[in-house]
Structure 1
Amino acid sequence: MNTVLISLASNTPDKLRQMNNAFAELQEMGLVAASSSIYETVACGSIKSPNYLNAVVKIFTDTDHQELHNVLKTMEKAHGRTPESKLSGKIPLDIDIVVWNGEIIRPQDWKQDYFQTGLKELEQMT
């Protein structure tokens, strides 16, 4: 069984709906072990973007890393994520595997406040 921390984010006008729907989809797949609350963060990066809603979710899965990655990227597309939306700074849904079995695989996300806020909340729960 793999233990995974994923980052969820959205910054479109319907961002709360996007986040709730993504969380529900993960729950339906039986993956969710624990989740932070949904919280707002200021966009970082060079593209001027609206504020984000973020959450960190801990999941358990028997699937391998690549298979889970593919499932999450398919979810992003189903929620309206396109190369054009990324370029415009409007992200309907962003889901990334940040930690896989204790190994930080996305250090650029790990160090950001948008991940650390949810991670600290998760750590307080356990």
Structure 2
Amino acid sequence: MTRIYISLGSNIAREHHIRAGLDALHELCGPLEVSRVFESEAVGFAGRPFYNLVVGAETELTLAELCRQLRAMEFAHGREPDAKKFAPRTLDLDLLLYGDLVCQEPVALPRGEILTNAFVLWPLAELAPALLHPETGHPLAEHWTAYDKASQRLTPIPFAWMPAHALA
């Protein structure tokens, strides 16, 4: 089993798509460790605010298969195959960490946004404060402490989620 961390984001029907993304990830990976949900301004384009969070899980999937599954989930929830990088999103799923793997293919890991975007770093550091960043060797909590918090506004919001099957 490999410990993975995935960021989720949406700025279109945010609550609906975040819940749908969590349900899909739970179905794929089983139990999820879920950070708080944060509202953040769009980064890189003018758009409506996003809901963002990070989940931790265990997987037996290979890196390539996990990436394929995450992309399929995005498409299943309305993402256009030719969507621009900086554009509104129904559901954005980004693999942040796959164990302590450092690689460029099939995806760059660890994801660069861990150290540059508050909406990734804060919830990730919340879930795994003592986890060492695979490239810097420093704990995620240390990176969050050093982060310029004035550079991106981020607000925790009330949000509760339970797996869909638990509600039946």
Which category describes the TM-score, using the shorter chain as reference length?
0.7 to 0.9
Partners of 1:43 and 1:51 within 8 A in 2: yes
1:28 aligns with 27
Greater percentage in strand: 1
Q: Distance in 1 between matches of 2:88 and 2:57?
A: 26
Task: Point out 4+ residue stretches in structure 1 off by more than 4 angstroms.
Answer: none
Q: Deviation of residue 84 (structure 1)?
A: 5.4
Residues 88, 120 of structure 1: alpha-carbon distance in 2 compared, 3 angstrom cutoff: closer
Q: Distance in 2 between matches of 1:106 and 1:22?
A: 21
Greater percentage in helix: 1
Q: Distance in 2 between matches of 1:29 and 1:88?
A: 27
RMSD (Å) for aligned C-alpha atoms = 2.1
Matched, 1:119 2:117: no
- What is the TM-score of this pair, normalised by structure 1? 0.86
Q: Deviation of residue 114 (structure 1)?
A: 0.9
- What is the TM-score of this pair, normalised by structure 2? 0.66
Written as runs of structure 1 = structure 2, the 5 A alignment for 1:41-52 is: 41-45=40-44, 47-52=45-50
Look at both structures and tell me which one has the larger radius of gyration over its CA atoms: 2
Of 110, 113, 124, the residue aligned with 1:109 is 113
Q: Which has the higher contact order (CA 8 A, sep 6+)?
A: 1
Unaligned runs of 5+ in 2: 103-108, 130-168
Q: Distance in 1 between matches of 2:71 and 2:99?
A: 20
Number of residue pairs the alignment of both structures matches = 123
